[in-house]
Amino acid sequence: MIPGRQEPAPAVQLSRLVQAKAQALFASGRMLCAPAVLTALNRGLGGGLDQAALHNLAAGLVNGLGGAGCLCGAVGGGCLALGLFLGNGKPDGRAARRVAAAGRELHHAFRAARGSTCCRVLTQKVKHDRKAHRAQCAELSGLAAGLACRIIIARRPGLAPRADLAYLRRGEPPKSGLARLAAAVAP
């Protein structure tokens, strides 16, 4: 610790780790925005969601709702994580309202940071530059994951001490050349 400087609170440190993990998952080429955000939060905070189910849930959110250009998939992935950690699994109104309020908070925080939550608007300046587009979407995935983590920990502080710090700190290897080739030729 630097003399005269306070260390960030554990929730802030944790949100930075989750942010970096989601960004690395996207940047590695292994996942797109929504699954990268949901994976970082699910595995980092111990959500227990099976990875195959996670990918199925997040699949329609990527590229702004399946390429429609609407809601940023990273924000959508963050909203799924809010439901995972803040919902109670029952169709009662109170829990649903709490998750909805958290989703609104995520939306407003992301919009305040980037000016929009619309994929089409966010990617307008980089859509013709694949490398810049990927870099920006990796950064946006990290942002959404970090913001969602702060919201979750603020409401469920007991999750912070149980976070899987080893997973969050572990680097993500790039997608193998063979896997990239298989994805490129898949229908």
Does the structure show a pLDDT above 60 at 180?
no
Q: Which of 74-83, 116-125, 156-165 has the lowest mean pLDDT?
A: 116-125
- Rounded Cα distance between 135 and 98, Å, is 33
pLDDT category at 184 given cuts 50, 70, 90 is: very low
Instruction: Output the pLDDT for position 9.
Output: 61
Which pTM was predicted? 0.86
Instruction: Output the pLDDT for position 12.
Output: 86
pLDDT per position as a tens digit, 21-75:
999 999 999 899 999 999 999 999 999 999 999 999 999 888 888 778 789 999 9
State the virtual CA torsion across 125, 130, 131, 136 in degrees, nearest 10.
Answer: 50
Summarize the confidence of residues 124-150 as an average pLDDT.
93
Does the structure show a pLDDT above 70 at 159?
yes
Q: Which of 118-122, 137-141, 155-159, 180-184 has the lowest mean pLDDT?
A: 180-184
Does the structure show a pLDDT above 70 at 183?
no
pLDDT per position as a tens digit, 96-126:
889 999 999 999 999 999 999 888 898 889 9
Does the structure show a pLDDT above 50 at 176?
yes
Give the start-to-end residue ranges of the domains of the chain: 10-185
pLDDT per position as a tens digit, 3-22:
554 445 678 899 999 999 99
Instruction: Output the pLDDT for position 5.
Output: 46
